[in-house]
Structure 1
Amino acid sequence: MESRVLSGSATISGLPRLRPQASRLNATVTFAAATPNTAVSAGGNLLWGRQLRPAVLLETSPARNLKSVLASAASSSDSSGEAMAPVGFFQKYPALVTGFFFFMWYFLNVIFNILNKKIYNYFPYPYFVSVIHLAVGVVYCLGSWTVGLPKRAPIDADLLKLLIPVAVCHALGHVTSNISFAAVAVSFTHTIKALEPFFNAAASQFILGQSIPITLWLSLAPVVLGVSMASLTELSFNWLGFISAMISNISFTYRSIYSKKAMTDMDSTNLYAYISIIALIVCIPPALIIEGPVLLKTGFSDAIAKVGLTKFVTDLFWVGMFYHLYNQLATNTLERVAPLTHAVGNVLKRVFVIGFSIVVFGNKISTQTAIGTAIAIAGVAMYSFIKAGIEEKKRVS
């Protein structure tokens, strides 16, 4: 490259004999030959490379020439098409994208709870409905795997053994939640499920042997007090709904414990798909045994007589789809945010569900129930903030 640059000027046969005016002219010609427009994209390399040093040295005013070289290289680089790639909307406005994820998570959750309760008003068979929830999600996952969105992650016997306890707890917690939804008001079930942090803390302390700070335990006192106040005067209270919601809390607590033992490199979408498949297999036998005979005798026919076959089938399909999508959106949303934002999101989600269910179904609640629910939600918020702060300190340290 250096030999080509020097041969670009016929007058450069010996540097000592050049006059200042001629050297200035020859330097310009040499530089022009050395830096064609199509090869200036690496301007810095051209400027400081060996091929340009002879031409620069021929100039009697090197500072001025160097300034022009830099300006020429910069302008050529801008017009070369190798400028920075344009920033996409997702990268430019990450807060708006995260906000949209939160909105969709809440929206799908509220729609699921409302539609789920409406189905129970004319089809009170929570075991079968639970199977439908999981079955629609499994079909969705299988379809996604078929088209490669996402690509199915391989699973072996060892990983399967780890996931089975998680899926069993997921199935039990899901079914008992639906039994509670069918038996009592949606708002009351979610008030009882506000106790889930209490069970998580107890399991961490007494089963996993983890030390729980006293501040975390104190923050749970309002949760227990609020749930107790709400339960005493809840107009839709019955023991089936209350006990089922409590069993759901315990089941999901153990699901968290087994999930920590089954930590894997598999992405959350594939992991949730495998858990859903196993949970569906677990849920089918009790649904057939407990509700199968009644469904074949009167259950299906009564529901079809009340709302029609088309509405009955579409309601079951959409409630299953909303169940799967809101769980998937919850996972995707919580992966994008910090622990504290995660905590706030979970608390606000429960507030949204309770509030919308009261408005939609017109549930009458006593003043004590309303105060108790508010105290319980405030306690959950306090617990979540403290726990998120502890997790953040662990992460930083």
Structure 2
Amino acid sequence: LHAHVCHVWSCLSAVCLCLQAKPIGFLERYPALVTGFFFFMWYFLNVIFNILNKKIFDYFPYPYFVSVTHLSVGVLYCLISWSTGLLKRAPMNSTLLKLLLPVAICHAIGHVTSTVSFAAVSVSFAHTIKALEPFFNAAASQFILGQQVPFTLWLSLAPVVIGVSVASLTELSFNWTGFINAMISNISFTYRSIYSKKAMTDMDSTNLYAYISIIALIVCIPPALIIEGPQLVQHGFKDAIAKVGLTKLVSNIFLAGLFYHLYNQVATNTLQRVAPLTHAVGNVLKRVFVIGFSIIIFGNKITTQTGIGTGIAISGVALYSVIKAKIEEEKKVC
């Protein structure tokens, strides 16, 4: 187990360091190849995380604890990177901590509720519900931040709402636990975006995400201990070990946490390399990628109506993303 984990850790660490490095020589002449590799790694890591994470819940149905392990592995990754000099640690102060605290709390709530949703319903349906996130972002911008959202943006969100509604009505794995937690996750990540804008700093994205992960981990531990702690001590760990063995349980949970941290890190680094429109379209395609692979891997049965609803929702997100990105680019030009 130790050798296997160390090998995976070293390989993925090397990949991430390469992703953050400036291209030289051949790569400098062909930046499109570098950008393409970024997108490939983003999609690959995200798909592997979603599949591995869902399989864990088959024999270890404790999403609060699993959420903590996701963040724990990410924090461990950052601490090792800092201590070995692979990543230069940015200084932290009380002012910055106060700014990052609400961002991290929203990140913690959003991550936990997302994980609970993925444990309760199919991966494809959970991602369909999470397609509503742009709607909450637009609502927050209009009614909380006081920013005028163009009518064309609101119009583009109509297919998203309709598509999710249609998919929900006939989804075979539907239950209220999964649906409500996915909606709470959407709201939490919307507020995270709002607080992130207020907490804009000169710190690089990798260090910023590392600090947010550390604070979010501290926030997630108490509810995990209270809600699932007694069950885990009484029979949770024993049942899982009896089903798959200690080695598989520990390695799968560890790898899920590592893939979670890396795909978030690569997604952030990708955003820094491409235009908003490119990233927006890439994000939509990523969701399609994950939904498609999850249906194939898990053999989820979906009704025709659910498939149509999912397609409408994703198309709406694509339309919204393109319109919003163009509006942002026009603002920069002006």
| TM-score normalized with structure 1 length | 0.78
Amino acid of the residue matched to residue 333 of structure 1? T
* SS of structure 2 residue aligned to 1:335: helix
Equivalent residue, structure 2, for 1:207: 144
- Distance in 1 between the 2:325 and 2:143 partners? 21
Deviation of the 1:147 alpha carbon: 1.8
- Distance in 2 between the 1:396 and 1:273 partners? 33
Q: Which protein shows a greater Rg? A: 1
- Distance in 1 between the 2:207 and 2:162 partners? 39
- Per-residue CA deviation, residues 332-363 of structure 1 (Å, 9 max, x unaligned), is 11110001101110000000000000000000
- Per-residue CA deviation, residues 155-204 of structure 1 (Å, 9 max, x unaligned), is 10010000000000000000000000000000000000000000000000
- Per-residue CA deviation, residues 195-253 of structure 1 (Å, 9 max, x unaligned), is 00000000000000000000000000000000000000000000000000000000000
* Paired residue total: 311
Equivalent residue, structure 2, for 1:299: 236
Give structure 1 regions of 4+ aligned residues with deviation exceeding 4 angstroms. none
Query: Quick check: 1:234 aligned with 2:171?
Result: yes
Deviation of the 1:102 alpha carbon: 0.2
Amino acid of the residue matched to residue 311 of structure 2? A
- Distance in 1 between the 2:257 and 2:27 partners? 29
Equivalent residue, structure 1, for 2:323: 386
Query: Quick check: 1:337 aligned with 2:259?
Result: no
- Per-residue CA deviation, residues 253-291 of structure 1 (Å, 9 max, x unaligned), is 000000000000000000000000000000000000000
- Distance in 2 between the 1:234 and 1:95 partners? 39
Equivalent residue, structure 2, for 1:284: 221
- Distance in 1 between the 2:241 and 2:333 partners? 57
| TM-score normalized with structure 2 length | 0.93
Equivalent residue, structure 1, for 2:156: 219
Q: Which runs of 5+ in 2 are unaligned?
A: 1-23
Mapping for residues 137-156 of structure 1, pairs under 5 Å: 137-156=74-93
Deviation of the 1:151 alpha carbon: 0.6
Deviation of the 1:150 alpha carbon: 1.7
Equivalent residue, structure 1, for 2:13: none
- Identity of aligned pairs, percent? 82
- Distance in 2 between the 1:306 and 1:89 partners? 49
Deviation of the 1:90 alpha carbon: 2.0
- Distance in 1 between the 2:106 and 2:302 partners? 32
Mapping for residues 237-256 of structure 1, pairs under 5 Å: 237-256=174-193
The one of 262, 273, 278 aligned to 2:199: 262
Equivalent residue, structure 2, for 1:95: 32
Amino acid of the residue matched to residue 317 of structure 1? F
Deviation of the 1:148 alpha carbon: 1.9
- Distance in 2 between the 1:163 and 1:107 partners? 29
Q: Which runs of 5+ in 1 are unaligned?
A: 1-86
- Distance in 2 between the 1:147 and 1:393 partners? 43
Deviation of the 1:149 alpha carbon: 2.3
- Distance in 1 between the 2:171 and 2:26 partners? 47
* SS of structure 1 residue aligned to 2:273: coil
Equivalent residue, structure 1, for 2:261: 324
- Distance in 2 between the 1:343 and 1:326 partners? 16
- Per-residue CA deviation, residues 61-95 of structure 1 (Å, 9 max, x unaligned), is xxxxxxxxxxxxxxxxxxxxxxxxxx612211100
Ranked by relative contact order (alpha carbons within 8 Å, sequence separation 6 or more), the top structure is 2
- Distance in 2 between the 1:194 and 1:161 partners? 30
* SS of structure 1 residue aligned to 2:61: coil
Query: Quick check: 1:135 aligned with 2:43?
Result: no
Equivalent residue, structure 1, for 2:249: 312
Equivalent residue, structure 1, for 2:63: 126
Amino acid of the residue matched to residue 142 of structure 1? L
- Distance in 2 between the 1:341 and 1:146 partners? 35
Amino acid of the residue matched to residue 195 of structure 1? L
